Amino acid sequence: MKLGAFSISLSVKDLQKSKDFYEKLGFITMAGATEQNYLIMKNGSTLIGLFQAMFDGNMLTFNPGWDENAQNLESFEDVREIQKRLKEGGVELDKEADETTSGPEHIYLKDPDGNMILIDQHR
């Protein structure tokens, strides 16, 4: 199963302070906007999403159809197929994708320790 680009999505209290901190660690802003309350920061192939007042807690994020530069992959496993395989394996989902649609969609699930995982397909 190929889940796509990986990043950690952090729920932050002060977007500018977090941006400044991660810049000191060598990260640069690659996407997002402070007026939209989120930034995607990159250092090499490492991605961190900073989100202010958008969700509670932190989560692991996978983006089917994208590489680590948010560039489209020629072929990828659709989130609905990933969902089907997860359900067949007995994995419980907190939010399921609408299987009657195509294109952008997402699912949520938790690992055994309650860590949130987002599989978010943008195309």
Q: How confident is the model at residue 92 (pLDDT cuts 50, 70, 90)?
A: very high
Fold of 5-121: 2,3-Dihydroxybiphenyl 1,2-Dioxygenase; domain 1 (3.10.180)
Q: What is the pTM of this model?
A: 0.87
Average pLDDT (16-32) is 97
In DSSP terms, which residues pair with 120 in a beta bridge? 106
Alpha helices in the chain (DSSP H): 15-24, 79-88
Examine the pLDDT at 68 and tell me if it is beyond 90. Answer: no
Residue 91 CA to residue 26 CA, distance in Å, equals 37
Average pLDDT (18-42) is 97
**Residue of 44, 20, 122 whose CA lies nearest to 76:** 122
What pLDDT score does 73 carry? 93
